Chain A
Amino acid sequence: SYVLTQPPSLSVAPGETARIPCGASNIETKSVHWCQQKPGQAPMLVIHYDSGRPSGIPERFSGSSSGNTATLTISRVEAGDEADYYCHVWDSSGDHPVFGGGTRLTVL
């Protein structure tokens, strides 16, 4: 099964840039999607197809993918960005979605 690796936690100061990695073998060959989950809420898609923003997602959220790492970038971080972030891809060999373990973003 395809394994996605994320750091458990990341801390940034308000106004700074957060970069959340999602690592896997040749991840650049897959479409990577990112969900944000705030405490007590359901996950919400914030980036699809590596770098696309669904309707309503601020331009501060962006994504990229190269080699073995995909990255979710949040510019000018705000207190309201504090959440868990999960990357996911479609695993074509198992024919199902696969999640990373999630990264908790703390805004200092």
Chain B
Amino acid sequence: QMQLQESGPGLVKPSETLSLICSVSGDSISSYYWNWIRQPPGKGLEWIGYVSHSGHTNYNPSLKSRVAISLDTSKNQFSLSLTSVTAADTAVYYCARYKDGLDYWGQGSPVTVSS
């Protein structure tokens, strides 16, 4: 059974960089699309970006200048970096696989931006 697990700090200071890792078990990361999605408190789902099995990336235009997503096939992980964070970046961050729809999700990693 495939599992995804996010890890990273739960508190980030304004203007600093948010970094999260998604560890994948039960299948290889060398296929499909690997996504980061976030959900601000009380709001809906927002797609952040993806990295494909080949390393191709695509980002939400509203975040593109601050986002980087990368793949580490040796560790079966992919990561998110979001720079210059503000309170508006406070959210639960999910990693998810896109194959037959967004078919597998991590449990979510809550991140608060505060000094």
Contact = CB atoms under 8 A, between A and B. Distances in A.
Interface stretch (B7-15, B22-30, B76-84, B100-108): B100-108
Interface in A77-108: 84, 86, 88, 90, 94-99, 101-102
B58 A95 contact: yes
Interface stretch (A11-19, A20-28, A42-50, A66-74): A42-50
B44 A102 contact: yes
A96 B50 contact: yes
Contacts of B100: 33, 45, 48-49, 52, 54
Contacts of B46: 99
A68 to B, nearest CB: 20
A49 to B, nearest CB: 7
A44 B4 CA distance: 13
B100 to A, nearest CB: 5
A93 B95 CA distance: 23
5 contacts: A42-B108, A49-B100, A86-B44, A97-B35, A99-B44
The 10 closest A-B pairs by CB, nearest first: A33-B101, A48-B101, A42-B105, A102-B44, A48-B100, A99-B45, A45-B103, A42-B108, A101-B44, A42-B107
